Amino acid sequence: MGLSLFNLTGKIALITGSTHGLGMAMAMGLGKAGATIIVNGNSSQEKIDKAVALYKSEGVTTFGYKFNVTDELAVKKAIQKIESEVGYIDILVNNAGIIKRTPLEEMAVVDFKEVINVDLVSPFIVSKHVVKSMIDRKQGKIINICSMMSELGRSTVGAYAAAKGGLKMLTQNMATEWAKHNIQVNGIGPGYFATSQTAPIRVDGHPFNEFIVNRTPAAKWGDPNDLGGAAIFLASKASDFVNGHILYVDGGILATIGKPSNED
């Protein structure tokens, strides 16, 4: 069996929010393993086109579709268009998400609801419309991008933690309902990764940089490419009997209570 377990040739993968960052890293991993990649974003067609060009420059067969993952009608139309123009989706990665860092007592209800809508409701919407063809074909992989905040709280990210905690349970319930159709539903919980967004706080001497390095047993920020392997595993035959699992890719943060400040 060997490496053939991880071969995604002939598979079609939709990754929401895959024009940049960790979504792009996971999508690129799936593409390098042979999958045809469907890039999704909602900011601008120009950004989608730029991302598609980047994937193609790496030898990945890629198509781009702009739609709002929180708009059910838009999602339904987009999935129908993808199925007509590219083919049925074999792998869905619900990655699109937002975060608003505000103390709960100061957070506007409209902002709280927006985070829940993007981070929790949209994975339900997209999965609902993708899974129908998976059920018909008796096969499919759904990967929900959870977070360490699916397990832990942290100051100022209450809405995000509530959404990601809910997404963990939604993942388990999707697995409960759809496993009988030979559909595996799992999650990935990323730790702290070195991306363009975290660059300003990863400099030596920055308090948060020191906190993350000291809090992580691996003593470093993650490389976005590290998520590619996790995505390939959960998208491939290698995980055909893995269901309802959240795979934390965090350098060991959730495995430890931390270390004393005087410990090497």
Are 168 and 148 in contact by the 8 Å Cβ rule? The answer is no
Question: Active site includes 55?
Answer: no
**Annotated catalytic residue: which of 55, 65, 88, 160?**
160
Q: Which residues of 205-236 are buried (b: 16+ CB within 10 A; e: fewer)?
A: eeeebeebbebbeeeebbebebbbebbbbbbb
SS percent in the chain: helix, strand, coil, step 5: 50, 15, 35
Exposure letters 65-92 (e unless 16+ CB within 10 A, then b): bbbbbbebeebeebbeebbeebebbbbb
Distance of CA 36 to the CA centre of its chain: 17
CA 78 – CA 67 distance, rounded (Å): 7
Q: Are 236 and 33 in contact (CB under 8 A)?
A: yes
Q: Residue 38: exposed, middle, or buried by beta-carbon count in 10 A (0-12, 13-18, 19+)? A: buried
**Catalytic residue list:** 160
